[in-house]
């Protein structure tokens, strides 16, 4: 075994020691439970953060209709056709309360946001078919996922129900219609939970900008035991990651929303089918389940394995500003320009993760993830690396002011090994020897 070097492969850019608090990693897997985090029970949430004392109509965020040309993705991608291997461990959620898979509350026609690296081809607007809308669900699990508009809204509601308001606020795009943070937080003072149901997702793109419209039903439960149902349309935005040339990376965010209270007995399904008509965004096509996973955009910080999968998804899609963003500020391995140049000879990287260990103290959470990386150079040579990534998350419940800091990488030690080495055995020791 020999120590990883920039001359062997320009793939990873970090070596070093974890900061204090990471030296005694426990055998537990994944993210600490709420008891360890002192996370409050799910409470407080009323839609878009407008002060609760205002009349119901004042809570409506009116958006500006999209003016971009209506297009759909062809599904063609120039990115490598390599699938990151799944982690052998399942990451527990940041909640002791079981919650349905967020994808289960989305409409069957709600699709993944089109790959920003894909080629957009103008098409005729398809006929929008009716959707079977599931019952709204209260999401209490920890979700911090901006991979697509559905995951983004799941993450937003997750943060509201967990009273992680700085995180909820972070999902709104800078310059959007969201009020000040103090007003936003006060807007949830009389709400104990919000249940979410998603309908049709529409999409459009133009000039390197990607937009989605998402039909939603929200049921807010108030402290007095009453409920109020809302139906509306959220619009999300992502500037093409492939053309974001310099940090900081601008992730997908909520750009605007138009949400209205509805009377008891209203035909919610009928309202949901037409609530986003003003955006003139056609329903997105269902992704091809056989398409290489590297063609599917992934920006997920819900757990340590998800962060690493997102990192190499960005590398494989040549979205280097995004890849660089997964490093914690101050822990970046190199300046950005050197970081990006380091991948000039890399064709693709395949990731396999081992058993995750974690440690917590003083509201800080640290993770150690053993990895195997198979990297192919543009000359067609495969190289094998084994090592350990270390990640950090400050307890979201005690991040009480913006900006919110998501889970990020703080250090990595990766070594090249012989092509036929027993990588599984080496991974078991990778996070013990640093």
- Pick from 312, 317, 381: which is nearest to 349 by CA? 312
Q: What SS3 class is residue 289?
A: coil
Evaluate whether residue 24 is within a structural domain.
yes
CATH number of the domain encompassing residue 30: 3.10.450.50
Domain range for 15: 2-38+294-430
Alpha-carbon distances, residue 157 vs 86, 197, 217, 425 (angstroms): 27, 11, 12, 41
Q: What is the 3-state secondary structure (H, E, C) of 149-162?
A: HHHHHHHHHHHHHE
233, 120: one domain: yes
Count up the domains in the chain and report the number.
2
258, 341: one domain: no
Run of H or E residues at 23: none
176, 123: one domain: yes
Cα separation, 120 vs 123, in Å, equals 9
CB-based contacts of 2, cutoff 8 Å, min separation 6: 415, 416
Mean pLDDT of the region 29-50: 31
Length of the chain counted residue by residue: 434
CB neighbours of residue 264 within 10 Å:
7
Evaluate whether residue 44 is within a structural domain.
no
pLDDT in tens, 313-368: 999 999 999 999 999 998 877 799 999 998 899 999 999 999 999 999 899 999 99
100, 157: one domain: yes
pLDDT in tens, 117-150: 332 322 333 333 344 567 899 999 999 999 999 9
pLDDT of residue 35: 30
Does the pLDDT of residue 285 top 70, yes or no? yes
226, 333: one domain: no
Q: At which of 245, 279, 313 does a domain end?
A: 279
pLDDT in tens, 142-175: 999 999 999 999 999 999 999 999 999 999 999 8
369, 403: one domain: yes
Reply yes or no: is the peptide bond before residue 137 cis, omega within 30 of 0. Answer: no
Cβ contact 112:67 at 8 Å: no
Among all chains, which residue has been given the structure tokens 């690493």?
Answer: 308
Report the C-alpha dihedral over residues 144, 272, 239, 389, rounded to 10 degrees: 20
19, 139: one domain: no
Mean pLDDT of the region 83-99: 32
pLDDT category of residue 284 using cuts at 50, 70 and 90: confident
Q: At which of 244, 279, 314 does a domain end?
A: 279
Evaluate whether residue 245 is within a structural domain.
yes
pLDDT in tens, 184-224: 999 999 999 999 999 999 998 778 899 999 999 999 999 99
Q: At which of 221, 252, 279 does a domain end?
A: 279
This model's pTM is above 0.85: no
Alpha-carbon distances, residue 397 vs 34, 141, 164 (angstroms): 10, 13, 5
Mean pLDDT of the region 106-123: 30
List the beta strands (DSSP E) in 88-208.
120-122, 137-138, 191-206
State phi, psi for 261 to the nearest 5 degrees: -70, 145
pLDDT in tens, 355-383: 999 999 899 999 999 999 999 999 999 99
Evaluate whether residue 218 is within a structural domain.
yes
Does the pLDDT of residue 92 top 60, yes or no? no
Evaluate whether residue 48 is within a structural domain.
no
Cα separation, 178 vs 48, in Å, equals 7
Cα separation, 95 vs 193, in Å, equals 15
409, 335: one domain: yes
Evaluate whether residue 155 is within a structural domain.
yes
Q: Is 331 exposed, middle or buried (0-12, 13-18, 19+ CB in 10 A)?
A: middle
Evaluate whether residue 51 is within a structural domain.
no
Cα separation, 391 vs 197, in Å, equals 32
Evaluate whether residue 232 is within a structural domain.
yes
- Pick from 426, 408, 409: which is nearest to 417 by CA? 426
Cβ contact 385:430 at 8 Å: no
275, 334: one domain: no
Cβ contact 147:173 at 8 Å: no
69, 6: one domain: no
251, 108: one domain: yes
CB neighbours of residue 45 within 10 Å:
27
Query: Please, what is the end-to-end C-alpha distance for the chain in angstroms?
Result: 15
List the beta strands (DSSP E) in 120-208.
120-122, 137-138, 191-206
275, 365: one domain: no
CA 238 from centroid of its chain's CA atoms: 12
């Amino acid at each position: 075994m020999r120590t990883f070097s920039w001359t062997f492969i320009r793939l990873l850019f970090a070596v070093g020691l974890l900061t204090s608090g990471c030296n005694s990693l426990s055998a537990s897997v994944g993210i600490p439970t709420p008891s360890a985090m002192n996370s409050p029970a799910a409470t407080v949430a009323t839609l878009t953060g407008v002060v609760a004392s205002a009349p119901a109509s004042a809570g409506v965020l009116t958006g500006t209709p999209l003016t971009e040309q209506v297009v759909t993705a062809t599904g063609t991608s120039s990115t490598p056709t390599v699938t990151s291997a799944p982690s052998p461990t399942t990451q527990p959620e940041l909640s002791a309360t079981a919650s349905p898979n967020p994808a289960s509350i989305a409409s069957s026609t709600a699709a993944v946001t089109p790959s920003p690296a894909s080629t957009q081809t103008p098409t005729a607007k398809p006929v929008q078919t009716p959707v079977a809308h599931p019952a709204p669900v209260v999401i209490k699990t920890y979700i911090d996922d901006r991979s697509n508009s559905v995951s983004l809204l799941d993450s937003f509601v997750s943060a509201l129900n967990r009273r992680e308001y700085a995180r909820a606020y972070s999902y709104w795009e800078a310059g959007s219609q969201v009020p000040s943070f103090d007003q936003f937080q006060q807007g949830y003072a009389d709400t104990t939970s919000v249940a979410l149901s998603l309908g049709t997702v529409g999409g459009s793109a133009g000039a390197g900008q990607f937009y989605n419209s998402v039909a939603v039903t929200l049921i807010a439960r108030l402290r007095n035991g009453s409920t109020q149902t809302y139906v509306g349309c959220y619009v999300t935005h992502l500037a093409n990651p492939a053309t974001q040339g310099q940090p900081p990376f601008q992730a997908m965010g909520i750009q605007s929303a138009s949400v209205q209270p509805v009377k008891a007995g209203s035909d919610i399904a009928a309202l949901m089918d037409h609530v986003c008509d003003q955006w003139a965004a056609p329903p997105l096509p269902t992704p091809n389940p056989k398409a290489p996973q590297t063609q599917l955009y992934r920006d997920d910080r819900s757990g340590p394995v998800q962060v690493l999968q997102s990192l190499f998804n960005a590398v494989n899609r040549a979205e280097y500003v995004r890849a660089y963003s997964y490093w914690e500020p101050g822990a970046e391995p190199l300046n950005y320009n050197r970081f990006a140049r380091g991948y000039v000879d890399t064709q693709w990287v395949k990731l396999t993760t081992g058993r995750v260990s974690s440690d917590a103290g003083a509201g800080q959470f640290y993770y150690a993830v053993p990895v195997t990386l198979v990297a192919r150079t543009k000359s067609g040579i495969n190289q094998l690396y084994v090592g350990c990534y270390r990640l950090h998350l400050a307890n979201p419940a005690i991040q009480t002011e913006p900006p919110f800091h998501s889970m990020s990488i703080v250090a990595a030690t990766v070594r090249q090994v012989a092509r036929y080495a027993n990588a599984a055995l080496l991974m078991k020791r990778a996070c013990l020897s640093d």
